[in-house]
Amino acid sequence: MNFSNWQEQQEISGFLFHEARLLDEHRWDEWQRLFTPDGLYWVPLVHGQADHLNHASLFCEDALLRSMRARRLDQARAYSQQPATRTVHVLGNVALESRSDTGCMVRSAFMLLEWRKTEQRAFGGSVLHTLEREGGEWRIRMKRIDLVNCDAPHEALQVFM
């Protein structure tokens, strides 16, 4: 499925780029407000994972858990954030997956560079955003991130991807 026009593509890509920037700048409150009240942030543990309730995940966070994580990252005594994790997201291959009455599903590819203390890590994969129109603004009902190495052993993953 294609975007209906250049403007629609620009608008949705712009939304995704804005979301990535909020994460890279640790603007957690603004980022959380992008979600619908029942919105889910989900990083599956295995490829093709169909279910976040009956299978463990890397991240599976509703509004409560996203808020707890954001609060923790900002605590003065979050020792594993001394220094804070720094990231940069690069998004591309933005494509419309499907359309509904209230919104759309958009797939993109992403690369994430992460730096903390002495180590640089790279993550990458595809992201599926389920977006809804609410009062003229886009909102995220689901952000699903499929890492190419989701099933690898990982060191701690602390910040939102």
Partner 1 sequence: MTIDLQALVQPDRVHKRVYTDPAIFELEMDRVFGQAWLYVGHESQVPNTGDYFTTRLGREPVVMVRHTDGEVHVMYNRCPHKGAKIVPDGSGSAGKFLRCLYHGWTFKCDGSLLSVPLRSGYEDTRLDLKDPQYSVRKVARVASHRGFVFASLSADGPELGEFLGGVATSLDNFCDRAPDGEVEVAGGVQRVIQRNNWKIFFENLHDTIHAVATHESSWRAAKEEFESMPAGTPKPFEVVIVDGNGEPLDFWEKLELKGYDRGHGFMEGIFVPPTDPVSRAYVAALEASQGAARADEILRVNRHNTIVYPSCSPHTSFQQIRVIRPLSVDRTLVEIFSFRLKGAPEATFQRTLKYTNIVNSPSSNVMPDDLEAYNRVQEGLTSDGGDWVSMHRAAGRDQALPGGRASNGNSEMPARNMFAAWASYMGVRAGDAE
**Under the rule (CB under 8 A), what is the footprint of partner 1?**
43, 45-46, 49, 53-60, 64-65, 67-69, 71-72, 75, 77-82, 152-158
Q: Which is nearer to partner 1, 4 or 149 (CB)?
A: 149
d(CA 141, CA 39): 4
Q: Which is nearer to partner 1, 15 or 42 (CB)?
A: 42
Cβ 128 to partner 1 shortest distance, Å: 18
Q: Which is nearer to partner 1, 16 or 43 (CB)?
A: 43
Q: Which is nearer to partner 1, 53 or 122 (CB)?
A: 53
Q: Which is nearer to partner 1, 109 or 157 (CB)?
A: 157
Cβ 119 to partner 1 shortest distance, Å: 10
Cβ 20 to partner 1 shortest distance, Å: 18
Among candidates 122, 90, 96, which has minimal Cα distance to 109? 90
Q: What is the 3-state secondary structure (H, E, C) of 71-110?
A: HHHCCCCCHHHCCCCEEEEEEEEEEEEEECCCEEEEEEEE
Tokens 């942030």 belong to which residue?
41
Cβ 66 to partner 1 shortest distance, Å: 10
Give 36's strand partners: none
Cβ 132 to partner 1 shortest distance, Å: 25
Exposure b/e, 113-140, CB count within 10 A at least 16 = b: ebebeeeeeebebebebbbbeeeeebbb
